[in-house]
Amino acid sequence: MTQTTDKDRVLIFDTTLRDGEQSPGATMTHAEKLEIAGLLDEMGVDIIEAGFPIASEGDFKAVSEIAANSRNSVICGLARANIGDIDRCWEAIRNAAQPRIHTFIGTSPLHRAIPNLTQDEMADRIHETVTHARNLCDNVQWSPMDATRTEWDYLKRVVEIAIKAGASTINIPDTVGYTAPAESADLIKRLIAEVPGADAVIFATHCHNDLGMATANSLAAVAGGARQIECTINGLGERAGNTALEEVVMALKVRHDIMPWHTGIDTSRIMNISRRVATVSGFPVQYNKAIVGKNAFAHESGIHQDGMLKNPENFEIMRPEDVGLTESNLVMGKHSGRAALRDKLEQLGFEIGDNQLKDLFVRFKELADRKKEVFDDDIVALMRAGEDPENDHLQIVSMKVVCGTGGPAEATIEMEIDGKDSTATAHGDGPVDASFKAIRELYPNAAHLQLYQVHAVTAGTDAQATVSVRLEEDGMISTGQSANTDTVVASAKAYVNALNRLITRREKSAPGSDIREISYKDVS
């Protein structure tokens, strides 16, 4: 629904699959993108920005397929301010039930300098490209990138040009997360008041979280008159991320008394999609993240627990079930069957195919053999473990690690590398260091370890550890995850998972592959 006469309705524009996926290391597979688009549609997202079709053949195919399978949501593709981008975008989205072209150009002095255009030349370019987009599609969104650092008079001028050329949504991006709430509200308010034709279009807000103000800035923009919020699940996005969908939606719901606007989002689906995006992007949600963090509804201190038992409203401003959070129950043991596992996964909001279930069931049985009690969170961790067999060049066959107080740790690892088995032994400063060294001996690589993180999934000494590993090689970033009751095994597998993803990225960006280097210079 993008046309509404309800002046209090705020449209939710989700860009997890475009701005979110642009986050270094957050690359999703084709199937994962289709799945996430389906979940976004089901939860009531008004507009899904499905990708940047000119960026690669893969992006084009994903956007086309999402468009062809679209149901309720408008499907939007991104295009720079050039005819080639816009034509490619239209080709990808034209089969959507409701297509939208989103075209943009950087309008601040710094961004104008990249293509080296004068203010007048850029104004002409905006007129030409928005007109072209409008001739193809009757739903066109235009964005002046870095709007919040664009001179006021120039911003007004270009917004007016875009409206006259036929844009029906004007998005005002805070590209570098520079604005603050009062300024964000004021900017939208003044644009609506001063730009001729502004009352006939929808103003959108698109905030980045560099100063931790994306949610506040988006809500302030709505107070100023914006009626579309651009956001991502879990706040995924470049640098500090984008506005988190779950935060703005729940803020509008919980504080409707002072923010009298509403969205069409079914909030009970939030937890499920948050988990799926964390899994497929390889970006775990921080424990104390608002709304979807593991601790968001946990009450540890005695005073809080006592207060909660007397009346949950003492310490809770929303109910866990409002965001689709059900209690972590004891689920199954080693005698549970495949049907019970599928049932549990469905309750947790995961829909998986037969092959994935087969693989997960093997890992569930292994876990149930080692761990007496298997909880919901254990199942979620297994799903998140990032095993990606179809793309695996490297696989750990077996490992043995000796460590203790007596000297350096020793790891012996047997790995299958592109179908060939080999074994290496290495010593290191602790069992994880020794294991990573052994893996590097078997698969020499120059990737730098950027992040190594371990979390216990549940309580108890037999708890599974989920490990995240982020690697960087020549500017390419990949994140791997694994879960195991043995922290060292989880660490080694997460490292190998990150290497597998890096190999896939390398293949995709090799000369002759389908990835094109996207530059903001290419506005023409």
Q: Which of 226, 228, 158, 222 is nearest to 196 (CA)?
A: 158
Residue 455 belongs to what H/E stretch? strand 448-456
Query: What gap in Å lies between CA 226 and CA 373, rounded to an integer?
Result: 49
Per the CB < 8 A criterion, the answer to whether 480 and 282 are in contact is: yes
Query: What gap in Å lies between CA 86 and CA 52, rounded to an integer?
Result: 10
Q: Which residues on neighbouring strands pair with residue 508, listed in sequence order?
A: none
Query: What gap in Å lies between CA 278 and CA 285, rounded to an integer?
Result: 6
Per the CB < 8 A criterion, the answer to whether 17 and 55 are in contact is: no
Find the part of the chain contacting ligand KIV (CB under 6 A) among 168-176, 356-364, 475-483, 503-511: 168-176
DSSP letter, residue 147: G
Query: Could you say which of ligand KIV, Zn ion, none residue 21 binds, taking C-beta under 5 to 8 angstroms by partner kind?
Result: none
CB of 500 to Zn ion, least distance (A): 29
CB of 238 to Zn ion, least distance (A): 7
Q: Which of 395, 425, 398 is nearest to 409 (CA)?
A: 425
DSSP letter, residue 398: E
Find the part of the chain contacting Zn ion (CB under 5 A) among 18-26, 80-88, 101-109, 326-334: 18-26
Per the CB < 8 A criterion, the answer to whether 433 and 491 are in contact is: no
Query: What gap in Å lies between CA 475 and CA 505, rounded to an integer?
Result: 11
Q: Between 145 and 198, whose beta carbon lies closer to ligand KIV?
A: 145
Query: Could you say which of Zn ion, ligand KIV, none residue 145 binds, taking C-beta under 5 to 8 angstroms by partner kind?
Result: ligand KIV
Q: Which of 469, 432, 468 is nearest to 448 (CA)?
A: 469
Tell me which residue has its CB nearest to Zn ion: 19
Q: Does 19 bind Zn ion (CB under 5 A)?
A: yes
Question: Letter for the amino acid at 447?
Answer: A
Candidate residues 125, 206, 437, 493; the one interacting with ligand KIV per rule CB under 6 A: 206
User: What are 261's two structure tokens?
Assistant: 């606007």
Find the part of the chain contacting ligand KIV (CB under 6 A) among 154-162, 171-179, 261-269, 498-506: 171-179
Q: Between 174 and 377, whose beta carbon lies closer to ligand KIV?
A: 174
Per the CB < 8 A criterion, the answer to whether 291 and 243 are in contact is: no
Total of residues contacting Zn ion (CB under 5 A): 1
- For 51, list phi and psi in degrees, rounded to 5: 155, -170
Q: Between 206 and 437, whose beta carbon lies closer to ligand KIV?
A: 206
User: Hey, which residues between 359 and 378 contact Zn ion (CB under 5 A)?
Assistant: none
Find the part of the chain contacting ligand KIV (CB under 6 A) among 148-156, 170-178, 209-217, 289-297: 170-178
Find the part of the chain contacting Zn ion (CB under 5 A) among 15-23, 301-309, 407-415, 416-424: 15-23
Q: Between 112 and 208, whose beta carbon lies closer to ligand KIV?
A: 208
Candidate residues 16, 175, 482, 485; the one interacting with ligand KIV per rule CB under 6 A: 175
Find the part of the chain contacting Zn ion (CB under 5 A) among 16-24, 288-296, 317-325, 462-470: 16-24
Q: Between 204 and 360, whose beta carbon lies closer to ligand KIV?
A: 204
Q: Between 239 and 372, whose beta carbon lies closer to Zn ion?
A: 239
Query: What gap in Å lies between CA 277 and CA 350, rounded to an integer?
Result: 11
Q: How far is CA 147 from the centre of its chain?
A: 23
CB of 105 to ligand KIV, least distance (A): 9
Candidate residues 173, 235, 241, 284; the one interacting with ligand KIV per rule CB under 6 A: 173
User: Hey, which residues between 76 and 135 contact ligand KIV (CB under 6 A)?
Assistant: 104
DSSP letter, residue 262: B
CB of 508 to Zn ion, least distance (A): 22
Q: Which of 144, 147, 156, 54 is nearest to 105 (CA)?
A: 144
Candidate residues 47, 55, 122, 145; the one interacting with ligand KIV per rule CB under 6 A: 145
Query: What gap in Å lies between CA 176 and CA 182, rounded to an integer?
Result: 17
Q: Does 19 bind ligand KIV (CB under 6 A)?
A: yes
Give the footprint of Zn ion on this chain (CB under 5 A).
Answer: 19
Name the residues that contact ligand KIV, by CB under 6 A.
19, 104, 143, 145, 171, 173, 175, 206, 208
